[in-house]
Amino acid sequence: MSKQEKLSLDDADGNCRQCGHPFNPHIVVAYDVNDFSKGGEVRCPVAECNCFHSLDFDFKTANNSAISKQPTTPKS
């Protein structure tokens, strides 16, 4: 598996690696649209699905505009 594939949140079929639902239309949210260094998150829009990924936006790396951290479970 290549480095890019390891960083990808979706698989070769376009499904989320964590929950298995289609990755499009997972929702990407920046915590502060004026300061992307604060990161953001990706959430699955399917009802009852708790899929959640935190994101770091890295605009310094030409080959990768967003690098994900390990998937996390949202706190209740």
Query: How far is residue 76's CA from residue 68's CA, in Å, rounded to a whole number?
Result: 22
pLDDT along the chain (76 residues), means of 10: 63 93 91 88 94 82 48 50
Structurally, the chain folds into a number of domains equal to 1
The β-bridge partners of 20 are none
Q: Which residues, at least 6 apart from 54, have a Cβ–Cβ distance to it below 8 Å?
A: 39, 40, 41, 68, 69, 72
Give the pLDDT of residue 4: 47
Within a domain: residue 76?
Answer: no
pTM above 0.75, yes or no: no
For 33, the domain range is: 3-71
Give the pLDDT of residue 62: 47
Q: Cα dist. 44→29, 54, 63 in Å?
A: 11, 12, 25
